[in-house]
Amino acid sequence: MSMYKLGIIGDKDTVLAFKALGLSTYPVVEPGEAERALKKMVTENYAVVFITEQIAEEIKDTVDEYSQNILPSIILIPNNQGSTGIGLKKIKSSVEKAIGVDILFESEGEEIERR
């Protein structure tokens, strides 16, 4: 039986915290390292790959390419310095695409558009 794995790609300080949780960690400095790590994880039964927003920005084309696949699910997270906001934007876009409306970030008092 094949087991799926969880992993994280990002700067050393951020990814090391996830090692204690049992995730495979890929600390990277250069965009090329991040691309190689992601390509490896795609071929090695990873179900979920967390990537820090800052690293994902540097390898945007590669992340976008693999985000089209069913597995692994690529989740952007803030690094230890904070969020750039792109991870939240991707979640918002995915939810809108799936259900047709923005239920996560609508303004208070604003009616939900019915389609």
pLDDT digits over 65-74, tens only?
A: 998 888 999 9
pLDDT in tens, 15-72: 998 998 999 999 999 999 999 999 999 999 999 999 999 999 999 999 999 988 889 9
Tell me, yes or no, whether 49 and 105 share the same domain.
Answer: no
Which of 51, 49, 86 lies closest to 70 in space, CA to CA? 49
Mark whether 58 and 16 lie in a shared domain: yes
- pLDDT band with cut points at 50, 70 and 90 for residue 102: low
Same domain membership, residue 77 and residue 28: yes
The answer to whether residues 18 and 49 belong to one domain is yes
Would you say 37 and 11 are in contact if contact means Cβ atoms under 8 Å apart? no
75 and 29 within one domain: yes
The number of folded domains in the chain is 2
Confidence (pLDDT) at 24: 96
Identify whether residues 12 and 24 lie together within a single domain.
Answer: yes
CATH code of 38's domain: 3.40.50.10580
The reply to whether 12 and 60 lie within a common domain is: yes
Q: What are phi and psi of 53, to 5 degrees?
A: -55, -40
Q: Whole domain around residue 42: which residue ranges?
A: 5-81
Shared-domain flag, residues 9 and 55: yes
